[in-house]
């Protein structure tokens, strides 16, 4: 990440979620997608908005403190507006918060390459998402960090 000086101008450096947790048509964003069928919300990369994973996250605290927009998004009324708009009922804390604000304010985020948080969990593949799972899970390149989410063992090699 030696070339990260420019990236750190953003408030938050984070990865797109490489799973179907927020998949638009059948999971967290299903109702919003039903009302907005042409939306990219919950769709896989590279063109969709699959949500974020906060397993690896770099925060530019100074940029966050100075961002009028980010601080407005912390207001309870704004959080409520966004969760109601997207019919969002999350359970993953900061990850849900960043996902929700990222649907409308991509300018706050720099998307890190998937190699910085390679998630190993394939649970969703066998639980209703087989036909679309690989669109979310795909990650090419030399892996830097392995994320053993959903109790997936981390390989020794």
Rounded mean pLDDT of 13-26? 72
Spatial contact of 108 and 14, defined as CB atoms under 8 Å apart: no
Q: What is the pLDDT of residue 109?
A: 95
Each residue's pLDDT tens digit, 85-122: 999 988 889 999 999 999 999 999 999 999 998 888 88
Query: What span, in angstroms and rounded, lies between the C-alpha atoms of 22 and 28?
Result: 5
Q: What is the pLDDT of residue 108?
A: 95
Share of the chain above pLDDT 90, in %: 50
User: Which is more confidently placed, 3 or 125?
Assistant: 125
Rounded mean pLDDT of 58-68? 95
pLDDT band at 3 (very low <50, low <70, confident <90, very high): low
Each residue's pLDDT tens digit, 34-59: 999 999 999 888 899 999 989 899 99
- Identify the CA nearest to 38 among candidates 27, 49, 46: 49
Spatial contact of 45 and 112, defined as CB atoms under 8 Å apart: no
């Amino acid at each position: 990440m030696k070339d990260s000086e420019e990236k750190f101008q953003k408030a938050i450096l984070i990865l797109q979620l490489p799973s179907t947790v927020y998949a638009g048509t059948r999971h967290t964003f299903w109702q919003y997608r039903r009302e907005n069928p042409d939306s990219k919300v919950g769709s896989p990369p590279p063109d969709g908005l699959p949500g974020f994973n906060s397993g690896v996250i770099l925060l530019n605290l100074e940029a966050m403190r100075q961002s009028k927009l980010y601080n407005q998004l912390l207001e309870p009324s704004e959080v409520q507006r966004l969760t109601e708009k997207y019919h969002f009922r999350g359970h993953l804390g900061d990850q849900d918060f960043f996902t929700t604000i990222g649907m409308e304010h991509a300018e706050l985020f720099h998307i890190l390459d998937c190699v910085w948080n390679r998630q190993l969990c394939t649970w969703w593949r066998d639980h209703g998402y087989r036909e679309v799972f690989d669109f979310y899970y795909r990650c090419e390149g030399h892996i830097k960090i392995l994320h053993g989410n959903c109790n997936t063992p981390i390989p020794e090699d």
